[in-house]
Homo-oligomer: A and B are copies of this chain.
Amino acid sequence: MTLKMTAGELQAFMEREFPQVAEDFAIDRLAPMEIDLRLKVAERHLRPGGTVSGPSMFSLADCAIYLATLAMIGPQGLAVTTNGSIDFMRKPASGQDIVAKCRLLKLGRVLAVGDVLMFSAGMEQPVARASMTYSIPPR
């Protein structure tokens, strides 16, 4: 399986289609069926005490699996999340970016499934784990 989009093309797609959130994320690494996506933590992602909020981590996981899927199928059609599960395991380090290490486990004709481990920059243990299913529209 080979990539149909480069990291730059994914970033441009995000800026064009999802301007509300595109500036939240940076692609650190892209490979077939894999992506490392970074949440550039800002004030709006924080909870009191300076830790990153749960919904911000959900958003990071969702976006990582979405981009990993698009990178494989190209920018065609509208994939939508049908299901997600997330475990919050540790308190994120205060004020640090969060990196999602994502792999696609399945890329089928109608469903894609990916999972993600999320890490605070500078922590060895994951702060959260998530998996999501995307429904891929007929091409």
Where the two chains meet, the residues of A that have a C-beta atom closer than 8 Å to any C-beta of B are: 17-18, 20, 43-44, 46-48, 53-56, 58-59, 62, 80-90, 105-106, 108, 110-111, 113, 115, 117, 125-126, 129, 131, 133, 135
Closest 7 CB pairs of A and B: A55-B59, A85-B85, A89-B106, A58-B58, A83-B83, A54-B81, A55-B55
Q: How many copies does the complex hold?
A: 4
Contact of A129 among B48, B87, B105, B111 (CB under 8 A): B105
- Residues A135 and B115 in contact in the complex (CB < 8 Å), given A81-B88, A84-B85, A86-B84: no
- Give the CA-CA distance A111 to B131 in the complex, in Å: 18
Set of chain B residues within 8 Å of A43, measured between Cβ atoms: 20
